[in-house]
A and B are shown apart, each in its own frame.
Chain A
Amino acid sequence: MTLEQILTALRTDPAWARNITAWHLVPERPGRYEPIPDDVDGRLASALRGAGIEQLYTHQAQSFEIARSGRHLVVVTPTASGKTLCYNLPVLNALLSAPQTRALYLFPTKALSMDQVDELQTLVRALKADIKAATYDGDTPGAARRAIRTAGHVVVTNPDMLHAAILPHHTKWLRLFENLRYVVVDELHTYRGVFGSHVANVLRRLRRICRFYGSAPQVIFTSATIGNPKELAERLLEEEVALVDDNGAPSGPKVIAFYNPPVINRELGIRRDALSEAGRLAGEFIRNRIPLIAFARSRRACELLTARFQSVAAGHQIPPERIAGYRAGYLPSERRAIEKGLRDGSVLAVAATNALELGIDIGRLQAALLVGYPGTVASTWQQAGRAGRTQDLSAAILTATSDPLDQYIVRHPEYFFGQSPEAGLVNPDNVYILTSHVRCAAFELPIESGERFGPRTLPEVLDYLEKQRIVHREDDRWHYVADAYPAQDVSLRSASTENVVIIDTTDPAPRVVGEVDLASAPGLVHEDAIYLHLGQQYHVDRLEWEERKAYVHRVDVDYYTTAQIAVDIRVLTEFAPGRPHTGMVCGGPAHGEVVVTYRPTIFKKLTLERHENVGWGPIHLPESTLHTTAYWLALPILPVPQHELQGLLIGLSHSLAHVAALFLMCDPRDLGRTYEVHSPHADRPTVFLYDAFPGGVGFAERLYRMHHQVLSAARDLIAACPCDSGCPSCVGPVLEVGSTGKALALEVLDARLIPDARR
C-alpha cells in the first residue's frame, strides 16, 4: 500500500477511525523565490549555484537584506526550510570581503554543532577560500584549541562553553572578540525558562566583552515555531530585533492526525497503552516499507518501541538493521551512522527521543509517529516536521497517553491548530541568576559604577557581592577579588547544582548507582525508602543529609514507599491583586512573592500490586524553603463540607497546574502546586501555582495575565474527560479528590470562576 492508501484505511476502518479525534490537512505550499542578491560575493553565488541553489527562498533573501542593513534579526520558519542559509549567507559574504572577520555560532547541543560545522565546511570547500570553521566544546582536543582561538573564523560552540570556558579566558580569544561581526543563536526556542534566563545573562557578558575589544556584533537568531519569537529574542538581547517569519520554502501536503487510544476502564479513566497502540500503527507503515520516525518521551519508551519495530520487521522479511533506535546515551559515531542511514534510506524506521527533534539533517521521511504529546506545540510541530521534507504527501500522527496534557490536546485539536499561544519566557533579572552572572562578569572585567548590565545598573548586587568578599570597590570600579573561578559554580542547565549521591553498599566495594537532585531527595531517599533505579529496588539504610549521600543496598520486596511532604506557603508580597480583597464574594487571581516550606512528615509502604497500605514510618529531615514567585486563585466561600472542599481544591490545583504547563511551555515539574483550605493571606480557600526555581522565572506573572485562558482550558479539560468522578487525566484520581471533587470543580469553574474572570 502507498501512504495515501494507508491513510484512507485509517480514516475509513472503524476500528481505527473512531479513535481519531482530529484529521487535519496542511495544504501543499508552492515555493516562493527571489534571485540571489547582487551584493552576494560572486564566489559565494557560484558556489551556491554549484550546489544546485539557483535562487533563494524569499525568507532567505529577506534575512540577507536585513543582515546587510546591520540590524539584529530572528528567523522563524519550519524544519527543513533552509534556515541555516539565512545566517551562513551573510556570514560567509562578510568573511569573503574581510578575511579577518569572525563569527560565533551557538547551538544548544554538541550534536547540532557538529552537524552545522559539516554543512558549513561543505559550502566553504566549494568556495575554495581560506575560511576555517571549527567546533569548540568539551571534546575539542587541546592542540586544536589554540589554533581555533587564534585562527578560527567561525567558532561553533554552545552557551555552556561560552559561559565557563571562553568568556572567563577572553584574553586568549583576543582575535575573536576584536573582530566579532556576527553571533548566531540557533534554536532560540530552547532558550526559555531558567536556561533562557541564564543564556540572556551570558549574552550580556558576551556583549560586554565585545565592547571592551571594540566590536559590536550583530545577532542572528533562528527558531522553530514559537508564540513570541521577536519578544523572546528582544528579551534575550535587550535590543530591537527584526522578525523574518514569512516562509518561502515549498512543502508537500501533510496530514496531521490525533489518535486517542480507547478507554478500557471508564471508572478509573484508564486508556489502552499509547506505546502498544503506536506499535500497531507503526506496523502499518513498516510492513508497507514507508520510511518512518517515531518519537517517544523517555529513553525507556524509545527502547521498547525499537523492540516492537524489530518484531514487526521480522514478521515481514525486513532485515533488522533497517530498524534503529536513537537517543541520548548512544555514542556519537553510532548516532552519525543512524543519521546517514536515514538520509540514504538504508534505515527504514527509527524510534527516537527528542534528541533527534532539533535540526539534525536526517533527510526525507514520509511518516512521523508521536507517542505522547511532546509537551509543547513547538516540539509537536518540530517532530511532525521530520516527516515530509519532499513535495509528496506525508503524515504525522500523535498518539495520546492518559496524561492530562495529552488528553487536553487530543480532545481540543482546535487549540493545537489555532494560533499558538505558547511563548518562551525568560527572566534575566531573576535575582539569583543575575547575581551569579554579575560575579562572572566582574571576574572577566572590573565593573564600572554606573555601568549597565542589561537595562540597569547594579549597585545593590555589587554591594551584596562586596559583603560576600567577592568584589572590592575602589573609586568607581568594582574588582573581582575572590579566590575562586566563578563560572564553575554556575550551571546554565539546572536550577541547583547540588545532588544527593546514591551509594550501593551491597557488595564489598561500594558503588555509586545514581543521584537525585536536592529538592527531590527528601521524598525519594529518606531512610527506609525503597528507591527504584533501572528496575532494581534499593533499600535506603542511611541518608547523610549534610554530606549529600544516601547509602542503600539491593533488595527484592513487594512494596514501594511514598513520602508525604507537607507544603506550607506564605505570601510575602502581593504584586497585583485582581480586585480589593475586602468585602467581596470571590477572591480572584493574584501574583506575588512567596516562601514555600517543604517538610517531609511520614512515608507509607504500599503493595506493588494493589497499592494497599502495609505500614508507615516517620521521616526525620530538616525542612527546606524556597523563595519564589506564585500565582494564586482565591475561591469564593462555598457552603460545602470540609472534605468536599479539600477534594475540590486538590482537583482544581491538579488540572490548573497541567494546563498552566501547557500555556507556559514548561515541564509540569517546573511548576509547584499547593492549596490552603483557608489562606490567611486571602481569607479564602486558595489554590497556588508557583515557580519551582528560587526567585522565579516569570511563570507567575504570565499566569496572572492569562488567567482567563487557563481557567477555561482547565474547565474544558475536566468537562471533556469521560471518567466518572476523577482520574489522573483531569482532576486527579478519585481516591484523592473524593466522589464530589470532579463535579464540584466543574461547577465552581462554570458558575463562579470563569464568569468572574470575564468581568
Chain B
Amino acid sequence: MPTTPVLEFRDIARSFRRGEPVLSNVSFSLAREEVVALLGRNGSGKTTLIQIAMGMLFPHAGTVRVFGMSPTDEPVAVKKRIGYVAEQQILPSRSTIPDLMAFHRYLFPTWDVALERSLLSRFGLSGNSSRMSHLSKGQARQVALICAVAHRPELLILDEPAGGLDPAARREFLETSIQLLNREGTAILFSSHHMSDVERLGGRVVLLDEGKVRIDDDLDALRESYCIAVIPRYAAHAITTIEQLPECLKVHQQYTDWHAVFRGTPQSVQALLHDTFGLKHLQCATVPLEELFIELVGGERTAEAL
C-alpha cells in the first residue's frame, strides 16, 4: 500500500554562484521509520540539502515535499512535525534552558513534558538554569537534541549532530534517536562523519559527491556488494578500459598502484577482470564503510604529496 513518503526530493538543484551548482539532480525519498545517512565531503552540499528540506532555502529546480507539503509554502504545518538539530548552534545564546523549554512547549503542541524531564536528567541537565552561552558546546548540543526530540516528531533531521561531542554523549544521542525510531516510527535523516554511528543507525546511505547523488543504497548492500580491486602498475594500460566498465564506479591512482571501486562481490569482480583482461591474482576485497567513502570521494594522492 503506497503511502506518502515522509520526505521526498525530486531533481533538486541549487547554486550560490552562477555556474557553480552546489546540488544538481538530487532525488531520493524517505518513508516512515526509515533511516537515511547523508554522507559526503565537507562542502558537498549536505547542509544545503538539509536546509532545503527545512524550507530555509529555495531550490532553484526540482521539488521538495515533506509530509506531502512544501516546506516553504506551509512552514508552520511542516515544522511542527519535524525535529531539527543544526550543524551550528542556532538557539539564542542568552536564553536559559527552562525558558527555551517553555518556548518550545508553546510552539509545539505535541510536546511531552515527561520526556523532556527524563531527557534532561539523563543528560545531567536537570536543574541547570544557565544560559546557553554558558554551556559547553556538547551540553548546548544536547539541549538542542532535547528540543528536537521531546515533541515526538515524525521526522528527525540531524545535521552533524555529534560534532564536538565526547563518545559517551554521542552514544546517548544515538540511543535517544533509536528510541524515537522504535517508539514513534520517526523517520531519520542525518549527516555525520562518524562511520561507526552510521553503521549503528543502519538504513540507507546516500552519498553526495560534488552535489550529485553517487550512491543511494542499503548500508549492508554497500558493505557486501561493493569491493575494491587493486590494479598493479604493470596493468596500468588497462585502466581506461576498466573505468568504462559498467560495474566500475571509480578508478584512481593510489601512490604507484590504482584502486578501482566495483559493484559486485570480490569473487565476481576477480572473475570479470580475469576474463576481460587476463589479470590474475588481484587483491579484491570488501571494505568498511569508511574506506569505501574515502575511495569514492577522497582526493587524488600521489607519491609526491609531501
Binding partners A and B = no
Interface residues of B (CB under 8 A from A): none
Interface residues of A (CB under 8 A from B): none
